[in-house]
Structure 1
Amino acid sequence: MSIKEVSRNKCFGGHVVKYEHGSDELNCNMKFNVFLPQQATETKVPAVFFLSGLTCTEDNFIHKSGAMAEAAKHGIALIAPDTSPQKRGVSIEGDSDSWDFGTGAGFYVDATEEKWSKHYRMYSYIVKELYSIVMEQLPIDESRVSVMGHSMGGHGALTIHIKNPSKFKTASAFSPIVNPINCPWGQKAFSNYLGSDKESWKQYDTVELLKTCKNERMDILVDVVSTTLIFFFKEKVTK
């Protein structure tokens, strides 16, 4: 499957490149951003897949994080995919009724419910389709690839790493949704995408997956920031 270059911008000695391609997994056109450091012009480089959270697209991390400065220092590529097939040439009734489901909220699962199963296959899109595209068509060292994410993307990063440690060697998650089967966001998404059988939800729940990983070493960094503490310290400082 070929990818089309949409834009290219210089960035910290390398380039941020936006690509577009037709997706067999999602049955629509998708875009993703890649930061390629200067070293990628001469050799294959390690890479980090960054999975964004609710309401985001492929642009949020690239535009707001400032991560390219550090990636350039260490010669690391950054892969920033979209979060959902919605509003990417797809229209499903009810997909825009709320901000935490449908548009921008693919939850990195493969939907099994008929209404959503044709397009909502973000797990397979990341792990199989996009991974293959990146490894085959970009200068990435396949032996040094990891995954990270924020919030919904942190949930995706952890579950993807746990189930695919040979592809994604390490995982980092910032304020991830680690137990979605027991929180409103996860219950809403999973019941719609996966149906009423809660046993099937466990395959996309980090806490439940960790229960099955006995005597296995995993390299995972989880950074959880309490909003309450942030406001507390901000108030103390301002006073």
Structure 2
Amino acid sequence: MIFSLYLPPAEIEDAIPLIWWLSGLTCTDDNFSQKGGFQEYAAKHKVAIAIPDTSPRGDNIPDSNDWDLGQGASFYVDATQEPWAENYHMYTYITQELTQIMHDLVPGYSGKESIIGHSMGGHGALMIGLKNSNRFSSISAFAPILNPIQVPWGIKAFNAYLGSEESTWHEWDATSLIKQMDQIPPILITQGTADTFYDVQLQEDAFMKAAQNKPVQYDKKDGYDHSYFTISTFIGQHIAFHVEQLNK
């Protein structure tokens, strides 16, 4: 596994919190580090940014001819079905193995964390953040797959990775998770109205109904699309949102 880690300019006495970024379908750890435009804001607020890859990689790692399944398309779950079950344990990798590595690598790590994601990674950030609500100070997402068990991308991936028994899917679905929770970290979601995936893959109605009376801010941005141009435009707002919670 390959990952990127941004460390801000800091003095030895500074306490540095960690924000996780999870990328979307077909991405690697390079997409956000090269196109996200976050460095100015992370430096200003003195936060570290952890950027995992989106799946295991390698010639001996199972893959698919489809761009939305296999390498680059893990959906951040722990797969139970062959041929994925041996290698595609992304949830455990991020929440345990890579977590320890990142904590060891961040000088002056404060012990505080938040999580952000985009598209498939927005699903991952919401799912991981909600499943570990005591760990993360806040959660945010750009154009997330909010209800994967009800949309084509998620149904395809969950069938492949988790099997056809749909009752096992709910623990990996943000809408199902938030419906069951009384207390959640604050959540910020940004969705562009010109996003070509919005109508089919990214609809918010079920999630927002399940999140009623919970601290969720859902912002639609007129004319913005699914690209990193949208992310780089609003990433400063997201980092400021997280820093406010991390400093409490």
TM over 0.5: yes
Cα-to-partner distance string for 1:79-123 (whole Å, 9 max, x where unaligned): 11100003x35332xx13111111200000000003111000111
Give the corresponding residue for 2:223: 230
| Paired residues, number | 199
The structure-2 alpha-carbon separation of the partners of 1:47 and 1:212, relative to structure 1 and needing over 3 Å to count, comes to same
Give the corresponding residue for 2:106: 138
The structure-2 alpha-carbon separation of the partners of 1:140 and 1:188, relative to structure 1 and needing over 3 Å to count, comes to farther
Larger proportion of strand: 1
| 2:175 counterpart of 1:199 | no
TM-score normalised by the chain length of structure 1: 0.78
Paired residue type of 1:35: Y
Cα-to-partner distance string for 1:4-61 (whole Å, 9 max, x where unaligned): xxxxxxxxxxxxxxxxxxxxxxxxxx11111101116553401110000000001100
- Find the aligned partners of 2:224 and 2:176 in 1 and give their Cα distance: 31
| Structure 2 gap segments, 5+ residues each | 196-221, 226-248
| 2:41 counterpart of 1:55 | no
Give the corresponding residue for 1:90: 60
DSSP 3-state at the match of 1:79: strand
Paired residue type of 1:116: W
- Find the aligned partners of 2:108 and 2:144 in 1 and give their Cα distance: 26
Cα-to-partner distance string for 1:176-225 (whole Å, 9 max, x where unaligned): 001000000000000000000101011111111111103x1421111122
- Find the aligned partners of 2:77 and 2:11 in 1 and give their Cα distance: 31
The structure-2 alpha-carbon separation of the partners of 1:89 and 1:48, relative to structure 1 and needing over 3 Å to count, comes to farther
Give the corresponding residue for 1:26: none
Match of residue 115, structure 2, among 138, 147, 150: 147
- Find the aligned partners of 1:192 and 1:74 in 2 and give their Cα distance: 40
Deviation at 1:230? 2.0
DSSP 3-state at the match of 2:84: helix
**Conservation of the 8 A alpha-carbon contact between 2:130 and 2:184:** no
| 2:151 counterpart of 1:189 | no
The structure-2 alpha-carbon separation of the partners of 1:212 and 1:108, relative to structure 1 and needing over 3 Å to count, comes to same
- Equivalences for 1:33-182 in 2 at 5 Å? 33-39=4-10, 41-86=12-57, 88-92=58-62, 95-139=63-107, 141-182=109-150
- Find the aligned partners of 2:11 and 2:192 in 1 and give their Cα distance: 34
**Conservation of the 8 A alpha-carbon contact between 1:52 and 1:153:** yes
**Conservation of the 8 A alpha-carbon contact between 1:47 and 1:140:** no
- Find the aligned partners of 1:222 and 1:72 in 2 and give their Cα distance: 23
Larger RCO (CA under 8 A, 6+ residues apart):
2
Paired residue type of 2:68: D
| Structure 1 gap segments, 5+ residues each | 1-29, 233-239
Paired residue type of 1:230: G
Paired residue type of 1:151: S
Percent same amino acid at aligned positions? 46
Give the corresponding residue for 1:235: none
